[in-house]
Structure 1
């Protein structure tokens, strides 16, 4: 069984469709759903609302191998931190980090220690390298990296032998988020020209390529670390 947040478009949709094509049962969690498939279960939840995430009821997980992918993410307002509204960092952290952490905690509590379980959080190179005007996004992705390392350490200590918690940076992907980045004024985002060049010079990964690389990492790679970049995964 595969549980994925944010499956209506982009990376999340491509990953969900890839698993469905391989015969897996996929549970999608989010506000909107665009996938129609016999093995797809849509769970409506606004991940930006902490109360909704905390009250979410998950379908029966069974005893088969479980994969949880927290893919849902928002960039937030692109602007210098001193100009942001005070609640902007909290809004970004809720979707990019807290929602996934809340769901993972629930799944860990529901899953027997001997059950195969892989938890993947979609991170970003922005969690490792500072980008001006992206303070909230960079902070949320940096949190994901270290959080996953802590969870991996904890679950080893708690005796969960077939568990992996991964923080995976997909690279620069051709999504609506990237389109939004390219449309921002240089007055508020000094590096906009670099992201426009990624598009013009065809340097963006397709969501479908990301889904294939992610599948290879999760299912055909010896997992001996927590933080990965899909740039390093060759098909």
Structure 2
């Protein structure tokens, strides 16, 4: 999906999660939402710099953290540990399960630098909240890309297993992504309605929020004909035959 689609879908889900936390700690809820928005953008290292658009330029700057810091470190790690050479500009590095883990690990290490430098002046709980939101946004980013034709390279760079769906994000005729917006917003509305009417414990509200988010993600996957393509099932371009 393109950046604005990722951002809107992730933010709708993050509001569900933040709403479950806000009574416990408003600052924590805010940082979870900020982290989720950042995580929705970070994997798209292939993003091109836009012209004369401050909002898109801001998103591009966030993506450069992944491109200029995280993926070069990933490539060093893969080369030193697994003897695998890779290109830091390869989008599949961040659109895979190993990439998700490494990307999050590198960003977590960076986020904790101020904690070690300034000590108790930086509340660890707030840093953890931002990182939880960051991981949440990155996981949702991959789940959303699973619904698209390009999909994700699940275990890149170790093999070419792909998970992909049938959506073309720029296809104006296909209204499924618009339907996702409506469904996510509807789930959010009923979540807030139930939250205001029923008083339950903090942990029960978190569980209910996560269940609501799973409904959103499950709906996307179900409507997108998501499938897994194993390496042995892939057909080389030179072997493809068009039958007329």
TM over 0.5: no
| Structure with bigger gyration radius | 2
Relative to the length of structure 2, the TM-score reads: 0.31
| Greater share of residues in helix | 2
Relative to the length of structure 1, the TM-score reads: 0.32
